[in-house]
Amino acid sequence: MGQPFEIVGQPLSLWLAPVGTTFPLIGAAPSGSWALIGTSGTRNQDEGGVTTTHSQTIQKVRPGGTTGAVKAFRNEEDLSFKLTIWDLTLEQLKVALNANTLTTTAAGVGTAGFKSIGLSRGVDVTEYALLARGSSPYGDGMTAQYQVPRCFMSNSPAIVHRKGVPAGVELMFDALEDLSAASADLRFGKLVFQHAVAL
């Protein structure tokens, strides 16, 4: 990639795991409960990549004797990750279907094997821990990662099946506050950039 390192032009890879799963150390491969979004990761994403949005609602205070704002309050803030995957395997679609149970039925004599999943999501919303990995702006081959302790799949995917165009599944994950965060600035998790190689 080469200098200038701070200009990054690589997609993010996303993993999900149960809430409470330990995040891998920077540079270490995700393992155990971490499940990659897209069977082949970034090779299953459309060219739109991953959009990370740090949104907020600000209330500006304007006293009666001024025309300009003299103070501001943050009323709301959100952190979200959005991507579209070209992957219709049920192992991936289950994320859009509230992590419903995937059932596999083996083939038998005269009967085809099949996989199935329920389409209703019910009232309870499945939560995940989310790991998003990409390139660090501090050097070639270095890793950057978002570590979000709690999130949920928040959008309503519409899958379009048409001739000659990959059917995409848009997924959006909204962060929830980590109720056990060590400080207020860690309630949505943290962003970690590798800046040096291991000794």
- Summarised one tens digit per residue, pLDDT across range 22-65 is 999 998 999 999 999 999 999 999 999 999 999 999 999 999 99
Question: In whole angstroms, what is the distance from residue 22 CA to residue 38 CA?
Answer: 21
Question: Any bridge partners for residue 82, and if so which?
Answer: 51, 172
The dihedral through the CA atoms of 186, 188, 190, 191 has a sign that is negative
- What does the pLDDT look like over 103-140, one tens digit per residue? 999 999 999 999 999 999 999 999 999 999 999 999 99
Instruction: Determine the Cα–Cα distance for residues 81 and 129; give it in Å rounded to an integer.
Output: 12
Closest Cα partner for 187 from 174, 175, 169? 175
In 59-165, where does DSSP find H-type helix? 90-96
Average pLDDT over residues 92-100: 96
SS3 44: helix
Q: What is the pTM of this model?
A: 0.93
Domain 13-86+124-193 has CATH 2.30.110: yes
**pLDDT for residue 1:** 59
